[in-house]
Amino acid sequence: MLQGKKILLGVSGSIAAYKAATLTRLLVKEGAIVKVIMTPAAADFITPLTLATLSKNEVPLHISDHNSWNNHVMLGRWADVMLIAPASANTIAKMANGLCDNLLLATYLSATCPVLFAPAMDEDMWKHPATRQNIARLLQYGHQQIPVAAGELASGLIGEGRMAEPENIVALLRRHFSVAASARKPLDGKIAVVTAGPTIEHIDPVRYISNHSSGKMGIAIAEALADAGAQVKLVLGPTNLTTHHNGIDIIPVQSAEDMFRSVIAVYPLSDIVVAAAAVADYRPVQIADKKIKKGEDKFSISLEKTHDILRTLGNNKGPQQLLVGFSLETNNEREYALKKLRDKNLDMIVMNSLADPGAGFNHDTNKVTLFDNKGKERDIPLKSKQEVARDIVSAIIELQHA
């Protein structure tokens, strides 16, 4: 179960740090790819050179080592599991409270993978109410605690608090990956970006141009993607709706320019993009800094084009990225949708029409037709937007495996 698994081993300052050498050797023997990061205090118990030799990877110690300042986020994304062993009382307390004063903690706070930790400390420290509270908080975060062992402690006392033996930790990791394999979701490990809602383009401090989009469809798609295992970045325009799904990070925006910049920032790391937002095609050339007063019988505003987000994404799409657009029309729906699919280098387009009763803006239902770049067409009848979202995500999953 560990063959080819990427394991990030964090070693903190505990006498049990010496066990990290055996643990590293066993993991490598099982076929795992092991990278080790240490706290400065851990280096008082075992040298980085020892663990670098056993893991066959450099072991950074400080946040400035080996470009770690730039790379600790990617290191946290690289791993299939982050294993902190030993996890001292001090490191556990910092993890529980979000402190970040060394490389291990900076990487921990950036980790998007499951986190397992093996406590190691004296019995009185282990049983202290503060430690118990910190452990409880880490469990609330969804982390997995490796049970401590009882026996002779560094203080010379006999009791609980010993770090689990490396062989037991390896066995637990095997079980972890076995359970994960049986519970795997189709989009596990994928990063998805969804745009939703309207944009607003200011005319003056009190007026703006917008549209009737509520964001319901885009939010439903974001939730369906997260339910399928994806980590979702929801770029959400101004709406009174939101979501509290654990797998969704919301990036709030207002204008088309805000949405463009936010999407472009997260696009390079994304695997899937679903552009469901109703983005303004034009914006005022100038925004008045004071309220425009009523005057002449006729009043005109000069407009300029906004960035074409979909076209920009399509022009810069990588071979492994999947791009889905929306086409909401009032006439010639099929013609316009297929043209948009081709012209903007999309993998799939979702077509719906304001002419269909119960579809379009502000409804709880929708009726759509899906066209993909392989020529497949799929009609989805009038359903709740949540059901339509699941159908769209099913089509995305099929395209991912085509």
Residue 310 domain-assigned (yes or no): yes
Residues spanned by the domain of 137: 6-182
Structure confidence at residue 67 (pLDDT): 56
Q: What is the distance between the alpha carbons of residues 312 and 308, in angstroms, rounded to a whole number?
A: 6
Q: What is the CATH number of the domain that holds 82?
A: 3.40.50.1950
Find out whether 40 and 11 touch, Cβ atoms under 8 Å. Answer: no
Same domain, 145 and 227: no
Of 182, 213, 242, the domain-final residue: 182
Same domain, 163 and 117: yes
Which pLDDT band holds residue 152 (cuts at 50, 70, 90)? confident
Same domain, 95 and 22: yes
Structure confidence at residue 353 (pLDDT): 77
Same domain, 154 and 200: no
Q: Which long-range contacts (CB under 8 A, 24 or more apart) does 48-53 make?
A: 50/21, 51/9, 51/11, 51/20, 51/21, 51/24
The residue among 7 and 62 whose pLDDT is bigger is 7
Q: What is the distance between the alpha carbons of residues 150 and 120, in angstroms, rounded to a whole number?
A: 11
Residue 90 domain-assigned (yes or no): yes
Of 142, 158, 182, the domain-final residue: 182
CB within 8 Å of 310: residues ≥ 6 apart:
275, 323, 325, 340, 344, 346
Active-site residue, 352 included? no
Q: Which of 211, 246, 331, 332 is catalytic?
A: 211
pLDDT digits (tens, 9 = 90+) for 226-236: 999 999 999 99
Q: What is the distance between the alpha carbons of residues 196 and 315, in angstroms, rounded to a whole number?
A: 21
Q: The dihedral of CA 170, 176, 178, 180: what is its sign?
A: negative
Same domain, 206 and 57: no
Task: List the beta bridge partners of residue 379.
Answer: 369
Output the pTM of the full model.
0.59
CB within 8 Å of 104: residues ≥ 6 apart:
10, 11, 12, 37, 38, 39, 84, 91
Same domain, 142 and 270: no
Residue 340 domain-assigned (yes or no): yes
Same domain, 258 and 176: no
Find out whether 38 and 18 touch, Cβ atoms under 8 Å. Answer: no
Same domain, 178 and 195: no
Query: Closest by alpha carbon to 196, among 385, 391, 395?
Result: 385
Tell me how many domains the chain contains.
Answer: 2
Interval 398-402 mean pLDDT: 84
CB within 8 Å of 72: residues ≥ 6 apart:
63, 103, 106, 107, 110
Residue 299 domain-assigned (yes or no): no
Residue 291 domain-assigned (yes or no): no
Same domain, 165 and 249: no
**Six-digit token string for 31:** 């076929």
Structure confidence at residue 346 (pLDDT): 97
Structure confidence at residue 75 (pLDDT): 81
Same domain, 203 and 131: no
- Whether 101 has a binding-site annotation, put simply, is no
Residue 116 domain-assigned (yes or no): yes
> Which of 284-288, 357-361, 389-393 is the least confident region?
357-361
pLDDT digits (tens, 9 = 90+) for 46-63: 999 999 999 999 998 887
Q: What is the CATH number of the domain that holds 371?
A: 3.40.50.10300
Q: Is the peptide bond before 86 cis (omega within 30 degrees of 0)?
A: yes
> Which of 145-154, 186-195, 344-353 is the least confident region?
145-154
CA distances (Å), origin 341, targets 93, 225, 390: 52, 21, 21
Structure confidence at residue 183 (pLDDT): 66
Same domain, 354 and 259: yes
- Whether 344 has a binding-site annotation, put simply, is yes
Q: What is the enclosing helix (H) or strand (E) of 282?
A: strand 282-284
> Which of 61-75, 78-92, 296-310, 348-362 is the least confident region?
61-75
CA distances (Å), origin 66, targets 62, 71, 128, 199, 340: 9, 8, 37, 42, 45
pLDDT at residue 287 above 60?
yes
Of 182, 213, 245, the domain-final residue: 182
Residue 293 domain-assigned (yes or no): no
- Whether 233 has a binding-site annotation, put simply, is no
Residue 300 domain-assigned (yes or no): no
Task: Please state the three-class secondary structure of 42-60 as a single string.
Answer: HHHCCCHHHHHHHHCCCCC
Q: What is the distance between the alpha carbons of residues 388 and 20, in angstroms, rounded to a whole number?
A: 50
Structure confidence at residue 41 (pLDDT): 95
pLDDT at residue 245 above 80?
yes
Pairing relation of β-strands 81-87 and 231-236?
unpaired
Same domain, 117 and 217: no
Structure confidence at residue 295 (pLDDT): 83
